[in-house]
Amino acid sequence: MTADEFKAQIARTYGTPSLVIDLDVVDRNIARVQALCDSVGIANRPHIKTHKSPVLAKLQQEAGAKGITCQKLGEAEVMAEGGLDDIFISYNILGEDKTGRLGALLGRVNVMVAADNPTTVAGLPHAAGIAGRDLPVLVECDTGRKRAGVETPGEAVALALDIASKPGLRFQGFMFYAPEDAVETTQSFLDTALAGIRANGLDAETVSNGGTPNLANLGRIKGITEHRAGTSIFNDRMMMRVGAAELEDCALTILSTVVSRAGPERGILDAGSKTLTSDTGGDLDGFGLILEHPQARIARFAEEHGFLDLAACNDRPKVGDILTIVPNHVCVVVNMQDRYVTVRGREIVGELPIPARGMLR
């Protein structure tokens, strides 16, 4: 079967725009990250925000992952329902509705959470009380990304002591999402914070770092015990740009049909911002890489229209052509659809649901 025939077969069976993952590449990506973690003795705790599928999370666990990471409580609930039982929710969980749900979850599976402020910490005993067991809490620390995370080791120690003082909470350690160029800053932060808690009779069982690009730094920060990589299971244009992946490591593509060619230098894809999203991947040119026409630019979007700029293309697609797109940012693209089409090479395997899609709460 030719590549064109295979694309036509997928389009005929599932329609376009379709989210296609090659399980051979997925398997390879999972094995590669596990081997990297094993080689430096760091536990692998992949972030499921990328794939949002308990089936894929179990593949990661079977390959050797210690547990998984979720960003939202709703994702964790779906993963627990799907049979995953060691879950880190790397997020401040706030509000009685959420701490109540967290308590129910903690009653069923092993859960750790992160916190970077006393308000979050003050709410968490509610969850432990419901579960009737201790809730392990990591202090989220920032070393340059300016997202969440306390900014100084002193604040980290103070929050660790606050956690340790609360009924039902156990201070579990520290969480970083360190910028890739912040190895030394992070080491220094961690060393100071560890000294601070040890002077107060505490210790850190878990020190977690994250990010697919940070796999390149694996083992360089002494004291890290776990790593959370998400995108590495599929990879995307962002990962290619930072050198964290090659094209052959990209497991996920969008199949999209050219639906209009109203002008000689332009065309329209049936994948718009409701499929590919307006995520620029930071500063990538255009909204995806079209494998058949790498000179074509996905210049802008309407909701269901991808505007193709074909000015730089010698060989231009025609109406009805099916194109293969590597998206800028795979995590947000997965979140647009309810299922994957799964393939191995040029063989269709079937469909795989994405039950944690849209689990924002």
Which residues bind to its own copies, rule: CB under 8 A? 11-18, 49, 71-72, 91-92, 94-98, 116-117, 119-120, 142, 146-151, 257, 259-263, 266, 268, 270-271, 273-275, 277-280, 302-305, 307, 318-320, 331-332, 335-338, 357-358, 360-361
- Name the residue nearer to its own copies (CB basis): 36 or 306: 306
Structure tokens given for 321: 């052509």
DSSP 247: G
Specify the residue, 133 or 300, whose C-beta has the smaller distance to its own copies.
300
- State whether residue 73 is helix, strand or coil: helix
Q: Residue 89 or residue 218: which is nearer to its own copies going by CB?
A: 89
Integer distance in angstroms from the first to the last C-alpha of the chain?
44
Question: Whole-angstrom Cα distance, residue 190 to residue 80?
Answer: 31
Nearer to its own copies, 36 or 211 (CB): 211
Of residues 36 and 275, the one with the C-beta less far from its own copies: 275
CB of 210 to its own copies, least distance (A): 11
In whole angstroms, how close is the CB of 109 to its own copies at the nearest point? 20
The nearest distance, CB 212 to its own copies, in angstroms, is 13
Backbone angles phi, psi at 146, to 5 degrees: 55, 45
Quick one: 226 or 321, whose CB is closer to its own copies?
321
DSSP string of 86-141, one letter each residue: EEEE-S---SHHHHHHHHHHHTTSEEEEEESSHHHHHHTHHHHHHHTS-EEEEEEE
- Closest to its own copies by CB, 3 or 302: 302
**Residue 89: CB minimum distance to its own copies, A:** 11
| Crossing angle between the packed helical segments 54-62 and 23-40, to the nearest 10 degrees | 40
Separation of CA 27 from chain center: 16
> Which residues make beta-bridge pairs with 253?
20
- Beta carbons of 59 and 30 less than 8 angstroms apart: yes
CB 151 to its own copies: min, Å: 6
Q: How far is the CB of 17 from its own copies (least distance, A)?
A: 6
d(CA 281, CA 213): 14
Name which of 36 and 92 has its Cβ closer to its own copies. 92
Distance of closest approach, residue 292 Cβ to its own copies, in angstroms: 17
Amino acid at 206: T
Shortest separation between residue 248's beta carbon and its own copies, angstroms: 25
Give least dist CB 49 to its own copies, A: 6
Helix (H) or strand (E) holding 185: helix 183-198
CA atoms of 272 and 277, how far apart (whole Å): 7
67 versus 149: smaller Cβ distance to its own copies: 149
User: How does DSSP assign 273-336, residue by residue?
Assistant: TTTT-S--TTT-SSS-EESS-TT-EEEEE-SS-EEEE-TT-SS---TT-EEEEE-S-HHHHHTT
The Cα 254–Cα 345 span in angstroms is 15
Distance of closest approach, residue 316 Cβ to its own copies, in angstroms: 14
Residue 35 or 242 with smaller CB distance to its own copies? 242
**Of residues 52, 96, 94, the one with CA closest to residue 76:** 52
